[in-house]
Amino acid sequence: MTYEDLIERLDPTVYQNLKRSLELGKWPDGRKMTPEQRATTLEALIVYEDRHNIAQEERVGYIDRGEKTGTACDPMANMGKKKPEADSSQFTEVKV
């Protein structure tokens, strides 16, 4: 069985348990997840969500920007825009 087959056949309950473990940083039995386990689990969850068409709002790492989408508070809104040049008259030289 390949990695892709395993993800395809993953039970929704197991998916939810993996997602919860990743959120808490520990396994259901209380053992702490190692950084490698967290990375592997995150990768598996992302692939599962893509393959099973999980709604964007329910996916791992989803950030709800709400009403701030497209405003100055949204970092994605300012991507690619040129920043205005600084006006040198706004600054004063301070000598110590």
User: Structural domain boundaries of the chain?
Assistant: 3-59
Given a cut of 80, whether residue 58 has pLDDT beyond it is yes
| Residue 14 confidence (pLDDT) | 93
| pLDDT, averaged across the chain | 83
Q: Coil, strand, or helix at residue 76?
A: coil
Q: Coil, strand, or helix at residue 49?
A: helix
Give the number of other Cβ atoms within 10 Å of residue 39's Cβ: 12
Give the number of other Cβ atoms within 10 Å of residue 75's Cβ: 8
CA distance 37 to 93: 53
Given a cut of 80, whether residue 19 has pLDDT beyond it is yes
Q: pLDDT band for 24, please (50, 70, 90 cuts).
A: very high
CA distance 87 to 90: 6
Q: pLDDT band for 93, please (50, 70, 90 cuts).
A: confident
The residues pairing with 14 across neighbouring beta strands, listed in sequence order, are none
Structure tokens at 28: 């259901």
Q: pLDDT band for 57, please (50, 70, 90 cuts).
A: confident
Residue 11 CA, chain-centre distance (Å), reads: 22
Given a cut of 90, whether residue 20 has pLDDT beyond it is yes
